[in-house]
Amino acid sequence: MSQNLDLSKLTNEVAKDIIELQQNINLFKIGKMDEERFKHYRLTRGVYGQRQKGVQMFRTKIPFGKLTADQLIKLADVSEKYTNGNLHLTTRQNIQMHYVKVEDSPAIWAELSESGVTAREACGNTVRNITASAHAGIDPEEAFDVSPYVQATYEYFLRNPICQDMGRKIKPAFSSSEQDTAFTFFHDFGFIPRVKKVEGKLIRGFKVVVGGGLGAQSIIAPTAFEFLEEDQIIPFMEAAIRVFDRHGEREKRFKARMKFLVKTLGLEAFLKLVEEERAAIENKSFFVDRSLHQDKIPAFKVFPNVEAKDAKKYDLWLKTNIYEQKQEGFYAVQIRVLKGDIDAKRARALAAIVKKYAADDIRLTINQGLMLKFIPKEYFSNIFNDLDAIGFAEPGFDTIADVTSCPGTDTCALGVTNSMGLAEQLETFIKKEYPQFLDERNIKMKISGCMNACGQHMIANIGFHGSSIKKRPLVIPAMQIVLGGGVDPDGKANIAEKVIKLPTKRILIAVSLILNDYESNSEEGQYFNDYYRSKGKIYFYDLLKELGNVENITADEFKDWGQEEDYVQEIGVGECAGASLDVVGSILNDAKNKILLSSECLLNEKWADAIFHAYTGFVISAKALLLSADVKCNTHINIINDFQKHFVETKLIPQIEDFHALVLQLNKYEPKHAFASNYHNQASVFVKLVSLYREKDLKDGGDKEVINSHYKA
């Protein structure tokens, strides 16, 4: 591991992050940090375990997928220096690098940070990358450009104490228009820009949805506000995250997302708690500086007149890969990226093309592609030839031929089947067998390697997720087919329905049956989802059921795509939950560290941060004693209530009269100096009381080991 990192060009905050990561890696290597606790730590620094032992996936955090050409070059250089030289584009507008040695992660982070790319909170139970429509700022249908709001939201919650120790991750999204091209409806927070006229003045605001999600239990986010003024979206998010942090499930990972809390409480009760929490928020109003993101239109250049080298391909490319911007005379060029993979050499070549023809604003798209902006029509044939020379001029961007896929069993520990192998097969199949569909934008195909929906299969018109079928003594790799998901042309959201599970080698035949049936029997111009709904799930089950008969299974069908050996199901453990295994004493050390952080914030006059760190100190130390008494801890609010019941009312901690009231002062008072100082002192005293109680308990022979499933709260 590089011990002498050059951090001189970095801000103090970033340098501190990287130094801390390096120190914790050293502690882990010499056995002074437990593996599970180290996992919990490294996840929030973008370092995620992959399927292959001894190597990691390193994920960057790129708000709304915006990169400069120089940032892309830096990513390419780093990937060659430390990894296998591949950049993988994700459905959350991030870039991942695989086969990273954990010892190299501080150096990777330091080098990327020089160009303004971070890994902080790219994984783990944090506010994850904030996605947005790639067309934000150039969309003719948008009420206004959401890009400055995304950037401001990203900056506001990065390193924010309220979202460093949550029970599960939070995923926000901003759409550019009512067409909801960012799929806000399946996010924890979704924002769609709107304007209304008040006393003759146009006021900006957002439609706000909350509590959506995909995965095994997909839920469409209910609408919290039809119109929330622009200065209220960040305060609303902050209050809602604080409610989620306190009331959200922590023990049962599969029930720990925001969608389950909103569903359990009901939207009205959830919003009431959010409103009550507003008293504790420092920023009751937060206006976004719209100058945070200003498009710079490149100067017009004159290039030699050239003909497209492949005229037929060029004509289809113009039809499917060009997007007319709201800025008159300018267009965006959209780029298909097979499997979302770009090798370093092509990444640098693409950066050169951007510098030559486009604005210095590359957008990573949520379908694992790329978009270049502010390109005049006069450049089309030139840029097509240059892109085609590096394999980036394939027609059919965001059509049925542009298949979205997660990494699946290539690198993900949770992968059940090879989603990327199937994606490659499907793209080739559509191009060869169904060229008439190469411009079909109203049918999307998406694949996830498991039910967790990283490939967003539940919002596909035709989707698949990895599964298996037992055929003793072997297991057949399979895909669950789902139909009817996505956003209708009028902006209505749909979650796909599960139809049938088939051997993965039969999926191409299944797609052929579906498309042939649609072509033959649908009305002219009928949207695929409308056709699916008109026929119903049973109709399509009957259409495909013969493919589900495995009595006639062939030897090749026991092999997954791209594999030479028979399929063996190997499902690891995902790391997103960030759970830990430790003893009570170590948990108390966590509480003491929170009190120290609170002290630092007081010295720096960060009153709200000091209060929240003190609150976390209260809860963590109370949790330590509850776990020592074999009391499960699944939510913060239950910890507070159970501590009152088991330790206060029983007089085991006689110095405390009402623990519930003591801790929850934080949502009753403004975050000002006097309250922050008093609350910090109360938390500090409480942690000392708990530590003294623990010391007495140890004298009686207690050294309670806390099991993994109990620690998560």
Check if CATH label 1.20.120.330 holds for domain 582-711.
yes
Mean predicted confidence (pLDDT) in 469-477: 89
8 A C-beta contact, residue 258 and residue 187: no
Q: What is the DSSP letter of 648?
A: I
Class of domain 1-124: alpha beta
Domains 139-294 and 404-558 share a fold: yes
- Residues with Cβ within 8 Å of 71's Cβ and at least 6 positions away in sequence, in order, are 115, 116, 117
Q: Is residue 333 helix, strand or coil?
A: strand
pLDDT at site 566: 87
Identify the CA nearest to 171 among candidates 137, 135, 221, 232: 221
Mean predicted confidence (pLDDT) in 186-208: 96
Edge-to-edge strands, sheet with 131-132 = 131-132, 172-174, 189-198, 201-210, 223-229
Tell me the CA distances in angstroms from 71 to 93, 177, 361, 362, 374, one per residue in order: 14, 28, 10, 10, 19
409 or 110: which carries more pLDDT confidence?
110
Checking if the pLDDT of 162 tops 80, the result is: yes
Residue 508 confidence class, pLDDT cut points 50, 70, 90? very high
Q: Is residue 341 helix, strand or coil?
A: strand
Q: What is the DSSP letter of 695?
A: H
Residue 578 confidence class, pLDDT cut points 50, 70, 90? very low
Domain boundaries, the chain: 1-124, 139-294, 311-389, 404-558, 582-711
Checking if the pLDDT of 428 tops 50, the result is: yes
8 A C-beta contact, residue 342 and residue 406: no
Identify the CA nearest to 2 among candidates 109, 79, 75, 133: 109
Identify the CA nearest to 371 among candidates 139, 150, 111: 139
In CATH, the number for domain 311-389 is 3.30.70.3340
Checking if the pLDDT of 686 tops 90, the result is: yes
pLDDT tens string 23-37: 999 999 998 888 878
pLDDT tens string 235-255: 999 999 999 999 999 888 888
Check if CATH label 3.30.413.10 holds for domain 404-558.
yes
Mean predicted confidence (pLDDT) in 258-285: 96
8 A C-beta contact, residue 96 and residue 119: no
Checking if the pLDDT of 4 tops 90, the result is: no
pLDDT at site 572: 53
Cα–Cα–Cα angle for 276, 280, 286, rounded to 5 degrees: 100
Identify the CA nearest to 116 among candidates 171, 181, 63, 71: 71
- Residues with Cβ within 8 Å of 451's Cβ and at least 6 positions away in sequence, in order, are 215, 216, 465, 466, 467, 480
Cα–Cα–Cα angle for 305, 310, 314, rounded to 5 degrees: 80
Helices 507-521 and 419-433: crossing angle in degrees, nearest 10, is 40
CATH architecture of 139-294: 2-Layer Sandwich (3.30)
pLDDT tens string 332-382: 999 999 999 999 999 999 999 999 999 999 999 999 999 999 999 999 999
Backbone angles phi, psi at 201, to 5 degrees: -115, 135
Greatest alpha-carbon span in the chain: 88
pLDDT tens string 210-227: 999 998 889 999 999 999
Q: Is residue 454 helix, strand or coil?
A: coil
